[in-house]
Amino acid sequence: MVGFVTLGRWMSPPWITAHSGVVHRQPNLDAGISVYRLRAAVTRGDVERVRRNWLATEAAPPALLRAAQVSGRLTCVSAAGRRGWWMPPGLGDATHVAVKPGARPPEGEIVAHWSVPLVPLPADRLMDAVPDILERVANCLPFEQALVIWESALRLERLHPDTVGRVAWRSPAARRLAAVATGRSDSGLETIFVVRLRPWGVRVRQQVPIAGHRVDVLIGDRLVVQLDGFAFHSSPADRHRDLDHDRELIARGYTVLRFTYRDVVADWPRVERALADALAQERHLAR
């Protein structure tokens, strides 16, 4: 029989710790832990009972604990953030939870999603499956913000666009995102830039290898755009490498424009002017 391990002043079953600090009681019973022992652990304060079927340690992440408290599953941007996908700024602190259709609205700072899931999961799962996270993101956020998260999901979860395209998405928003998401973006900033440039009708390619390194965006044949993200804190060696690559590109006949996170997110008209000037001079065309 599995024993207990000490975590500070808590005595926590290791299988609870292995499940991020909150777990359905059924896996405990399946592991041979009797109902009596579970009740005794709760009485001693080793673990906390969350509603009827969940047990948690003091290390349980607040978002997962909140989902268990309302008998739901973590979903949408809350689940995306927990999986480490890129998150657009300004999404707020509310916890997004999927609950059964017809369930009472949860109280507190919770955004409830009532739709029937694409992927049915056992009762002991506290987070939606990836397709359901993506569809709820599609239905919850504006297109640009949703695409940032979708691009990240494709890249980090190693999802092929063809596979994503074959999912039986239920909403027009999800089908639209599945049609354009590629997983090629190296950052959320790159996704935002490409989304805003796409209506211009120029040829745009991402992560194109030129002169020994990949460029973020190549417009037409000769206009290179490099994007320095919000977390861009290059070392002097990194900065020198970037400048060396820029000089090599210019020597090969490319025009190089470099924009920061603030340029793209907070001062897009300035970016548009620079791009319009370059396009008017046909800097994107091979000569």
CA nearest to 185, candidates 144, 223, 221: 144
- Among 180, 196, 228, where does a domain finish? 180
- The reply to whether 142 and 192 lie within a common domain is no
As a whole number of angstroms, the distance between CA 263 and CA 193 comes to 10
Query: Is there a contact between 81 and 46 (Cβ–Cβ < 8 Å)?
Result: no
Q: Are residues 143 and 80 in the same domain?
A: yes
- Predicted local confidence at residue 108, as pLDDT: 81
Whether 74 and 176 map to the same domain: the answer is yes
Do residue 81 and residue 176 come from a single domain? yes
Whole-Å CA distances, 222 to 8, 97, 207: 60, 46, 14
Q: Is the pLDDT of residue 8 over 50?
A: no
Q: What is the pLDDT of residue 5?
A: 34
Higher pLDDT, residue 74 or 287: 74
Same domain flag for 245 and 269: yes
Q: How confident is the model at residue 11 (pLDDT cuts 50, 70, 90)?
A: very low
DSSP state of 222: T
pTM of this prediction?
A: 0.82
Residue 287 lies in a domain: no
pLDDT of residue 19: 57
pLDDT tens-digit readout, 244-282? 999 999 999 999 999 999 999 899 999 999 999 999 999
Q: Which residues pair with 56 in a beta bridge?
A: 22, 48
The CA distance from 54 to 36, in Å, is: 15
Residue 111: pLDDT over 60: yes
Most confident of 27-36, 40-49, 207-216, 238-247: 207-216
Task: Provide the 3-class DSSP secondary structure of residue 207.
Answer: strand
Same domain, 174 and 259: no
Q: Is pLDDT above 50 for 10?
A: no
DSSP 127: B
Are residue 244 and residue 262 in the same domain, yes or no?
Answer: yes
In terms of domains, do 74 and 56 share one? no
Average pLDDT over residues 123-140: 95
Query: Could you tell me where the DSSP H helices lie in 70-212?
Result: 76-82, 130-140, 143-156, 161-165, 172-180, 188-197
Query: Looking at the domain assignment, is residue 235 inside a domain?
Result: yes
Residue of 205, 264, 272 lying closest to 229 (CA atoms): 264
What is the pLDDT at residue 23? 78
Q: What percentage of the chain carries pLDDT values higher than 90?
A: 59
Domain boundary among 158, 180, 202: 180
Higher model confidence: residue 33 or residue 80?
80
> Which pLDDT value is given to residue 2?
33
Strand partners, 161: none
Same domain, 167 and 249: no
One domain for residues 41 and 77: no
CA distance 220 to 286: 8
Two tokens, residue 270: 């300035």
Q: Strand order of the sheet with strand 255-260?
A: 204-210, 213-219, 223-228, 255-260
Decide which of 132, 157, 180 is a domain's last residue. 180
Q: How far is CA 281 from CA 187, 205, 249, 286, in A?
A: 29, 20, 18, 12
Given this model, what pLDDT does residue 102 score? 80
Residue among 70, 71, 74 at smallest CA distance from 61: 74
Which of 52-56, 114-118, 233-237, 251-255 is the least confident region? 233-237
193 part of a folded domain: yes
Quick: pLDDT tens for 192-231. 999 999 899 999 999 999 998 999 999 999 999 999 875 5
Has residue 14 been placed in a domain?
yes
35 and 105 assigned to the same domain: no
**3-class DSSP assignment, residue 238:** helix
Q: Quick: pLDDT tens for 64-74.
A: 989 988 889 99
The answer to the question of residue 286 being in a domain is no
Domain count for the chain, please give it: 3
Tell me whether residue 223 is in a domain. Answer: yes
Residue 285 lies in a domain: no
3-state helix, strand and coil shares in percent for the chain, rounded to the nearest 5: 45, 20, 40
Is 96 in the same domain as 176? yes
The predicted pLDDT at position 22 comes to 82
275 versus 48: which is more confidently predicted?
Answer: 275
pLDDT at position 15, please?
Answer: 53
Q: Contact 206/216 with Cβ under 8 angstroms? A: yes
- Both tokens assigned to 278: 């370059």
CATH number at residue 201: 3.40.960.10
Q: Is residue 229 assigned to a domain?
A: yes
Range of the domain at 232: 188-280
If phi > 0 it is left, if psi is from -120 to 50 it is alpha, else beta; for residue 212 that is: left
